[in-house]
Amino acid sequence: MQFLVSALLSLGLLAVATAPARSDVVDTFDDTSRLVAIGGSITEIVFALNENELLIARDSTAVYPAAALDLPDVGYMRALSPEGVLSVNPSAMLMLEGSGPPETLEVLKKASVPMVIVPERFDAQGILVKLRTVGQALGVDDKAKRLAEEVGADLEAAQALTRDIAERRRVLFILSNQGGRLLASGADTAADGIIKMAGAVNAMSGFSGYRQLADEAIIAARPDLILMMNARSKSNEEITAELLAHPAIAATPAGMTKAVLHMDGAYLLGFGPRTASAVHDLAVSLYGTAIAN
């Protein structure tokens, strides 16, 4: 369990919606010549705005686009060290809400590193706020406005695919299966948000965050589909076989029909410029090619 959760943490995908964190926040940077982006979706946005030439470093959750991997890695977004960040001599930092820890932010504040904290919300509007916040911070409001219009239209089209669906499918998002102990996603999480945007129902919305499930809760959830991220230590086929062998999963509609879907974690849960495509792909997997366009 610990290994799998650590792997998920390395992508920053165990996020739960929280109240906005504030630091030494500015609206627009005076100097963007040495920009550090913290948070995978933030790095994606900087690239989507064609401002990536400003980037001198990223955090470990930034795995897309491939060019981002060429940048120095200053550490995991929720466990940053002041030394690691300051070693690249940043002139500005874009930080996704939830970055930290607070002690590191305090040291960076005392070191007079200009920071903008970008809010995180797991819905379409939250993505557009991210885009506009990054654009304003970099002084490219017009570019951000155009990108937000494009992304907003794509999100609207993706969500419209399932708008008239009468019977919503129930989805259980499982983070890990370690020795039959299933760790699942509840409300106020990225998984909950993407499931709703794809026109489905989170089968485990009765709690917030992430929780290990009892067999009775799995059976009662009645998922039509099990959603997981692509496996890292094993093949998706091996992970699926182990999951379907779980007695409680086997007793669910998803288990009976072997309905298990694996998707790339950063793509599925990033809530950035690619989310409309992820919503589209998930919706098609849920409801069939008849809704695809």
Which string of DSSP letters, residue by residue, matches the chain?
A: -HHHHHHHHHTT---B--PPP--SB-SS-S--TTEEEESHHHHHHHHHTT-GGGEEEE-TT---SGGGGGSPB---TTS--HHHHHTT--SEEEEETT-S-HHHHHHHHHTT--EEEEP--SSHHHHHHHHHHHHHHHT-HHHHHHHHHHHHHHHHHHHHTTTT-SSPPEEEEEEEEETTEEEEE-BSBHHHHHHHHTT-EETTTTSBSEEEPPHHHHHHH--SEEEEEPPSSS-HHHHHHHHHTSHHHHTSHHHHHT-EEEE-HHHHH--STTHHHHHHHHHHHHH-GGG--
Q: What is the pTM of this model?
A: 0.91
Structure confidence by residue, pLDDT tens digits, 1-13: 443 444 444 455 5
In order of start, what are the domains of the chain with their CATH numbers? 8-160 (3.40.50.1980), 170-291 (3.40.50.1980)
Structure confidence by residue, pLDDT tens digits, 9-57: 445 555 655 444 443 445 899 999 999 999 999 999 999 999 999 999 9
Structure confidence by residue, pLDDT tens digits, 170-210: 999 999 998 899 999 999 999 999 999 999 999 998 999 99
